[in-house]
Amino acid sequence: LPSMGLAAGQAGTNTSATFVEGSTGVLIFPDTVSIFDMDDTTMFSARVTIVNRLDSEFEYLQADPIITANRGLSLLVEATNTSFAIVLSSRQAGVRVHRDNYVAALKTFKYVNDADEPVDLVRLVAVTVFDGEDSSDPVYSKVSIKTINDHAPSLLIAQNATSLALLEPNTQLALFPDSSLSLSDADHSEFLIQYALVTLQPVTSDFPFESLSVSSPFVLGSYNNGTLNVTGPTTPAQFAAGLNTLMYMNTAEEPSNVPRYVSIKVFDDRFASNLVQRAFNISLINDQVPVVDLDTDVPGPSNYTTSFYEEGTGVLIAPRAEVSDADSGAFPTQTMWVRLHALDGDWEDLFLSNYNGSLA
């Protein structure tokens, strides 16, 4: 019976090779490939088969057509979705070819996989020879698949994400209460998301009182100077779950109502994702009492004292008065009362002197 050997010139030995994702292929038989037959020096055919074809039409075998033709051999492809084979035989029907020619052709065989993300399981490539009467037992080249990180992560905020507003006096706002942020990566699962940068904008008077945080078992967050650094490493799904816990905090007593947004970008060990932004508003309430200061020359809200001289024409009772309101919103003063505690009845009066404003 004929026999094959793939290592050290010994019959029945196997070999191995490694295909790197994105490459043009890998030679699967070493220079030590050998054909043994005590009866014949010529063979009728050889067959090389991917036994477990896992990426259908994207994976196949190649042989050098020039060397094969120069050795008097032809190539016949037999393929299904689950297997791929090349049969070597004489270019002349019924003619046997010396085994050294088969060996020379076998040394040119490559395994190729054009799948964008190949299945990373070992492929078995079997080779047998046929001497016209008997076939050899198969020997195998075990092809490992080495994957690479060749895709950037992708962030997406759902179009129907909930509109957001921090309502004073609350100090915290969940930015993704509906888990509307998703993160994907077309690469194999062993390539993890390393970190994300979440930046709060714009800078307002509230900056010292603002912060961002996450609360998740999958990621950690560290906030400094307007940027939250979220770190893994972990899978895209788990990293997205962490980012969906993103919280905005503002402890300012009277926050600015300038609209805010956060910018988010994630990184794996090679690529950065696209940038997404989440906008939100600050809704203010009227929660402060107006303050009347009748004498601004004196620190703090204060009274004012003046004198009216008998038979005089009138006196200004608060020439340095000021009305203030600590609210940060546009809450106009509606009414102001000035009451005179009169002791001379109708002989006393209050009036606006030389006033051209809109108050009545």
What pLDDT, in 10s, does the model give residues 278-291? Answer: 999 999 877 667 77
pLDDT band at 304 (very low <50, low <70, confident <90, very high): confident
Lowest mean per-residue pLDDT among 42-56, 198-212, 313-327: 313-327
Coil, helix or strand at residue 306: coil
Q: Please state the pTM of the whole predicted model.
A: 0.77
Name the band, by pLDDT with cuts 50, 70 and 90, for residue 337: confident
- pLDDT band with cut points at 50, 70 and 90 for residue 294: confident
In this predicted structure, which of 135-139, 307-311, 315-319, 350-354 has the lowest mean pLDDT?
A: 350-354
How many secondary structure helices (H) and strands (E) does the chain include?
A: 3, 26
Query: For the residues 156-166, what does the mean pLDDT come to?
Result: 93
Q: How far apart are alpha carbons 206 and 49 in whole angstroms?
A: 69
Q: Percent of the chain at pLDDT above 90?
A: 74
Q: How confident is the model at residue 219 (pLDDT cuts 50, 70, 90)?
A: very high
> Average pLDDT of the chain?
92
3-state secondary structure of 55: coil
125 vs 308, more confident = 125
Residue 46 clears pLDDT 70, i.e. is over it: yes
Query: Quick check: 11 and 37 in contact, CB under 8 A?
Result: no
